[in-house]
Chains A and B, each alone.
Chain A
Amino acid sequence: VKGTNTALRASARKLLVILEVVVSFECEGRSETPRSSVVNGKQQIPVLQTNNGPSLTGLTTIAAHLVKQANKEYLLGSTAEEKAIVQQWLEYRVTRVDGHSSKDDIRALLKDLNSYLEDKVYLTGYNFTLADILLYYGLHRFIVDLTVQEKEKYLNVSRWFCHIQHYPGIRQHLSSVVFIKNRLYTNSH
């Protein structure tokens, strides 16, 4: 992934640039099937080459850098607590969500996340942050594959996910996942 600071600064819609960089990497790097993200036995990791500084390696590192470049630091959290929580979920994204992710792993992950989101609008509680964005991108390929019944089972995840995908400019060219507003499987849980 290559970008220049000048290009980033010049852009009036900097957040979109960030998202495009991140999403285009994610789509090229992993064409949906988890296995293809592994090239020659190694997970592909993005590198950002800037004009006036050392290169940066790692998805969340680059994303945090670009967020700062775009003067959108609030996306990294505003209080010490919030900042730590954002970073915690970014780490979760690259370790748990991008991990080996067997079906069981994903089910466990969704279960935990569902219970975490029970009383939250966003991952930090009330503020939309980079953690929501990257977790959304990371989970997309799994959520797309959920059955209607599973989406209902992970109701809080579905609510959060649906909310984020409708956030202006976030979804980019990822497919919109359809969530049914009425419960179909009321007996199943």
Chain B
Amino acid sequence: MRLFVSEGAPGSLPVLAAARRAQGRAELLISTVGPEECVVPFLTQPKVPVLQLDNGNYLFSTSAICRYFFLLSGWEQDDLTNQWLEWEATELQPALSAALYYLVVQGKKGEDVLGPVRRALTHIDHSLSRRSCPFLAGETESLADIVLWGALYPLLQDPAYLPEELGALHSWFQTVSSQEPCQRAAETVLKQQGVLALRPYLQKQPQPSSLQGRAVSNEPEEEELATLSEEEIAMAVTAWEKGLGNLPPLRPPQNPVLPVAGERNVLITSALPYVNNVPHLGNIIGCVLSADVFARYSRLRQWNTLYLCGTDEYGTATETKAMEEGLTPQEICDKYHAIHADIYRWFNISFDIFGRTTTPQQTKITQDIFQRLFSRGFVLQDTVEQLRCEQCARFLADRFVEGVCPFCGYEEARGDQCDKCGKLINATELKKPQCKVCRSCPVVKSSQHLFLDLPKLEKRLEEWLENTLPGSDWTPNARFIIRSWLRDGLKPRCITRDLKWGTPVPLEGFEDKVFYVWFDATIGYLSITANYTDQWERWWKNPEQVSLYQFMAKDNVPFHGLVFPCSALGAEDNYTLVSHLIATEYLNYEDGKFSKSRGVGVFGDMAQDTGIPADIWRFYLLYIRPEGQDSAFSWTDMLLKNNSELLNNLGNFINRAGMFVSKFFGGYVPEMVLTSDDQRLLAHVTLELQHYHQLLEKVRIRDALRSILTISRHGNQYIQVNEPWKRIKGSEADRQRAGTVTGLAVNIAALLSVMLQPYMPTVSATIQAQLQLPPPACGILLTNFLCTLPAGHLIGTVSPLFQKLENDQIESLRQRFGGGQLEESLELKVITSPPRRYTKLEVGGRVMVAGDTLLLFPRQKCPPSQQLERL
């Protein structure tokens, strides 16, 4: 084996001392390398000492090298040694490296150096004297002694840094230092120069992280605040002092909301949920709830905001569902539209409009866009071979056909996919096909269909993307999906279907066909707006003045980022196109196992029955929002987050702040005389508030929620350190201090209530009622922290905001949702839009229709995992 050391590297001390233990057990070569030489191939940062083992592996930890030498000598590991070594690595080293840095690199002396390590030294001293053993782990010198001695030697060899009062440490250190291996190691490393021998090495090392972040002995808060400049503090104080006077007047509510020239006009859509299902948690977080947070935030910023959504009602899936339930498609739509609307109302989604796609406006606008595309030559006609049931007198959608799988011979393969072998099937290839409705055998017939000529529109699309994407807030997954579609080249897409339940195709020869949903579903946003106001074109044909934010799960990206823009660009009617496409990843349920069957999961209407308030659901779903990566809903985690973040952190802080005002000051906000510490806190809160704004402007909803929790954490710490409940009983000065702390804390609570509004609107309103926050302060959020509850303000009655979730309660919910939905499976799956069903659309190409939203995948026959790859 080979040991690599470096001149002046302090780690050499214990390693060389311990090496004597292994003498005669193995051959040891020692090489000296430069301090910046990377010896270990897998480590980016240089590290010495390093021991290269005979099998090629490396030990790069000083303690591990020493341990290895001891193990070679036949020593056995014990708990006490492990404990010392763990303490050395986690507590002593950070303190020591700070002390050595001050001493050797910065040339400081005395308490500056001793300060960081005093606690650690005392700890060793106490342990030694309590156990009354001469050595750390017992009666004889052992590994722990060598490792700690080696770490401490550079500092303690200077008697100035070995405090007299620590007698036990003193005698231990003398004893170990006098051992021959230690003496030799010390001579080799320090070369009689004392601690300065370490200088060439330490100078080349990065500053110890214990100096950059929190120092071991200091409060984290102080360290973070230390990075604020005087200027930032002064600005925060000025803004604070202006208080309510800083607030602009509230924007008066308008009906209808229309774009205003010269203002920021924000149009927000959430993907239209497919009507034939009750939405589940995944739908809710993926689209409506995410969009709702942004819409509420946008209104708090006083931006002119319109938030719309609605149910997507046309298509095969509705017809199927209608057949299942023995209703007409219209009845199904009416029934489920009401269910959707109820659920979103319960979740407190602040739609300006919640419409539907089965309206005359939808027909009018869709047909208009089609006519424009048709007359400009962007529509092709082609023949498609399809199965037709003569008895039912209609072409069969894939899900209406069953037969024998051509691959595995399974008898009940569906027209789109075999449940047994999982392969995707072309319905015309099914053996012994049967119409699912009448069980007769369908025949292959050709049928005329219309295709949108996407290749012809590709260039326009690319130009538009080039102008739109840079500097926009399109999520990375959306960019990636669109890029990969373009890279593969666009193909003509069929836009008609042999169905009755849809928008009629206004063309001779196509009277018994309708538009396929993926062509007209995104037009739903326009028609829903048109049902809201006859001036809808001011939103939708106004790209100069309107910023369009569209929220969806990632599977919906192709429709919004590609198909609709192509239709709109081809129609040449100055449509407003998406400026910011916000796509989430998937939300899984519990341990993430797929349940491929029909719409299984936790559904919106069941959330109501859990007894857990809507705001708690909102909070947890937003806390785990699949932002940038998939995430999972977990009952246990929900309990933890509720009890730790909401109850113990946020709720605790806001409640205490309010209670102090009530209990100690008769409900009147006390006078605040800010000390420099308070001013720093102001600046710190301001900084976090600005961070919150930066994140939400970029629609980083989940991350911005963390800022709220951080502020309340600081608030708790502030109260904890200043102890107003003690000071209130003290001298006049103490009482004044208690007043200031209470006043500042309750103002932070007021700020939090506004920041929380997009996430937990009901809780926010409750806090604001408890604090009697003036209305303009409730409805506007500036980038500065203002004193909105000035001295003398009378607050209302304060009461706790959150309830603890108990293990039993959560466990019974888990079981209920495990068993209730689907008997055979305890592991339910919620996914924003699972690719469950595949419907053949055109020869070779595939459109998948999920239970809730449309999925469109490029033509390719491959299992879902590989399709993911295509995205």
Contacts and interface: CB of A to CB of B under 8 A. Distances in A.
Contacts of B769: none
Interface residues of B, number: 65
B486 interface: no
Contacts of B588: 178
Interface in A100-143: 100, 108, 111-113, 115-116, 118, 125
A84 B634 contact: no
Interface string B500-517: 000000000000000000
A87 B86 CA distance: 9
A76 B77 contact: yes
B587 to A, nearest CB: 11
Given A27-B640, A35-B713, A184-B871, A95 B59 contact: no
B857 to A, nearest CB: 14
B64 A87 contact: yes
A38 B220 contact: yes
B593 to A, nearest CB: 8
B64 A84 contact: yes
A60 B713 CA distance: 29
B481 to A, nearest CB: 10
Contacts of B357: none
A175 B644 CA distance: 18
Interface string B838-871: 0000000000000000000000000001101101
A43 B214 CA distance: 11
Nearest to B72: A80
Contacts of B42: 112-113, 115-116, 118
A79 B65 CA distance: 14
B476 A84 contact: no
A33 interface: yes
Contact of B869 (A45, A173, A183): A183
Interface in A142-180: 144-149, 173, 175-176, 178, 180
Given A65-B79, A94-B89, A81 B710 contact: no
Q: Is the interface of B mostly helix, strand, loop or mixed?
A: helix
Contacts of A35: 220, 710, 713
Nearest to B871: A184
Interface string B22-50: 00000000000000000001111100000
B476 A147 contact: yes
A88 to B, nearest CB: 4
A70 interface: no
B591 interface: yes
B209 interface: yes
B500 to A, nearest CB: 40
Contacts of B632: 175-176
B90 interface: yes
Given A175-B591, A180-B865, A36 B67 contact: no
A84 B55 CA distance: 13
B77 A83 contact: yes
A76 B78 CA distance: 12
A112 B43 contact: yes
Contacts of B629: 144-148
A188 B84 CA distance: 44
A166 B592 CA distance: 13
Contact of B634 (A88, A94, A173): A173
Nearest to B43: A112
A180 B866 CA distance: 9
Nearest to A181: B865
Contacts of B41: 115
Contacts of A33: 706, 709
A173 B86 contact: no
A64 interface: yes
Given A57-B87, A80-B71, A180-B868, A100 B213 contact: yes
B101 to A, nearest CB: 16
B57 A85 contact: yes
Contacts of A176: 591-592, 632
B43 A91 contact: no
B86 A94 contact: yes
A178 B592 contact: yes
Interface in A21-54: 27, 31, 33, 35-36, 38, 40-41, 43, 45
Interface in B629-668: 629-632, 634, 636-637, 640-641, 644-645, 649
B71 A31 contact: no
Contact of B44 (A57, A108, A118, A184): A108
B361 interface: no
Give 6 nearest A-B pairs by CB, closest first.
A88-B64, A84-B68, A80-B71, A58-B86, A115-B42, A116-B42
22 contacts: A31-B640, A36-B649, A38-B220, A45-B90, A57-B83, A58-B90, A88-B59, A91-B64, A91-B85, A98-B90, A99-B209, A100-B213, A113-B42, A116-B42, A118-B42, A125-B57, A145-B628, A147-B628, A148-B629, A176-B591, A178-B630, A180-B868
Interface of A: 27, 31, 33, 35-36, 38, 40-41, 43, 45, 56-61, 64-65, 76, 80-81, 83-85, 87-88, 90-92, 94-95, 98-100, 108, 111-113, 115-116, 118, 125, 144-149, 173, 175-176, 178, 180-184
